[in-house]
Amino acid sequence: MVKYIIKRAVSLIPTLIGITLISFFVIHLAPGKPTDVDTSMNPKVTYEARIRLEKLYGLDKPIHVQYLEWLKRFVRFDFGRSYMDDRPVSEKIAERIPITLGINFSAIILTLFIGIPLGVISAVKRGKLPDKLATIFVFIGFSAPEFWLALLLMNLFCITLGWLPVSGIASLDFESFNILGKITDVAWHLVLPVAISTFGSLAVISRYMRTEMVGILAQDYIRTARAKGLNENTIIYKHALKNALLPVITILGLAVPGLIGGSVIFESIFAIPGMGRLFYESVMARDYPVIMGVLSIGAVLTLLGNFLADIAYSYADPRIRITKEEAL
């Protein structure tokens, strides 16, 4: 197992290098320079000043030199400084990551708790009313524009009914609360974002569970269990579910980029100061170091998510471990 983990980790290195290459070149293929924001919009800036700015940011060097210099700093988690406020990019990202991950983590947990039972019910009652209702429910979540749902629910719960706070992650008088009050306050602010995020990702888990369960329920050992006269619930929850649950781990790993990407929308609409909003703001301002930093950190998080899912899956299912060890 340890050998497998090490091998698997080593095989990530080329992908990591690829991530840095893409993050770097996507930004640099686009026309316009970061100094444009400071300069061309401001007629008072002279040509000399612009050259000086470009030198300062290293933009006058050939692109491969820029990349290598950026890579050298990247491995030490030094992404340079933001063009906007001159703060270190790593610091800006570090203060935003916990918020985004916290929201996404809560959404994943909720998705599992709701999506797995829904999928199981769909599979067991296949073609009957519960299956159809569950299917329509998760499909609507999957098909509705998230920001539209957010707008409508925000209007209903926050403005018309006044039950939930409108935006942000904490109240204005946050500092005056005790520790319990602070936790409740943040949780209260995140009810709507987490709920909508969960609604949107239910389909992936529940449809997957449904397919898995349907496949497993048709297998011989289930028929044997039935022939032995086992109780139907024992068959479904003890024999079938256990086997269907394993591959969900991989699906979770695959869901990471979607969730991180979705945070751009949520954080914008609910004014949550997370990584998604940081990315959006930096893209709008052409703040290159921040864009490259968030883009590569986002991809690295995904890679990490897939890696962990893969390890967990191999640990849980020895059949997979052996075939994969042979493949490496």
Q: Which of 88, 102, 168, 258 binds another protein (CB under 8 A)?
A: 258
**At closest approach, how far in Å is the CB of 261 from another protein?**
3
Contact 313, 247 (CB under 8 A): yes
Q: Which two tokens stand for residue 60?
A: 């006058």
Contact 119, 154 (CB under 8 A): no
**At closest approach, how far in Å is the CB of 6 from another protein?**
19
User: Residue 170 CB: number of other CB atoms within 10 A?
Assistant: 16
Reference 203, options 120, 131, 302, 111; nearest CA is: 111
Site membership for another protein, residue 211 (CB under 8 A)? yes
Per-residue exposure over 230-239, b if at least 16 CB sit within 10 Å of its own CB, e if not: eeeeebbeeb
User: Residue 134 CB: number of other CB atoms within 10 A?
Assistant: 23
Site for another protein in 7-66 (CB under 8 A): 14-15, 18-19, 22, 26-27, 30-32
Site membership for another protein, residue 105 (CB under 8 A)? no
The DSSP letter of residue 45 is S
**At closest approach, how far in Å is the CB of 94 from another protein?**
18
Per-residue binding string, another protein, 278-307, x by CB under 8 A, is -xx--xx-x----x--xx--xxx-xx--x-
**From the DSSP assignment, how many helices (H) and strands (E) are in the chain?**
16, 0
**At closest approach, how far in Å is the CB of 230 from another protein?**
22
Q: Which residues contact 209 (CB under 8 A, 6 or more apart)?
A: 115, 116, 118, 119, 120, 122, 123, 244, 248
Site membership for another protein, residue 104 (CB under 8 A)? no
Residue 81 bridge partners (DSSP): 88
Site membership for another protein, residue 224 (CB under 8 A)? no
Per-residue binding string, another protein, 122-161, x by CB under 8 A, is -----x----x------xx-xxxxxxx--xx--x---x--
Residues that bind another protein (CB under 8 A): 14-15, 18-19, 22, 26-27, 30-32, 127, 132, 139-140, 142-148, 151-152, 155, 159, 207, 211, 214-215, 218, 257-258, 260-262, 264-265, 268-269, 279-280, 283-284, 286, 291, 294-295, 298-300, 302-303, 306
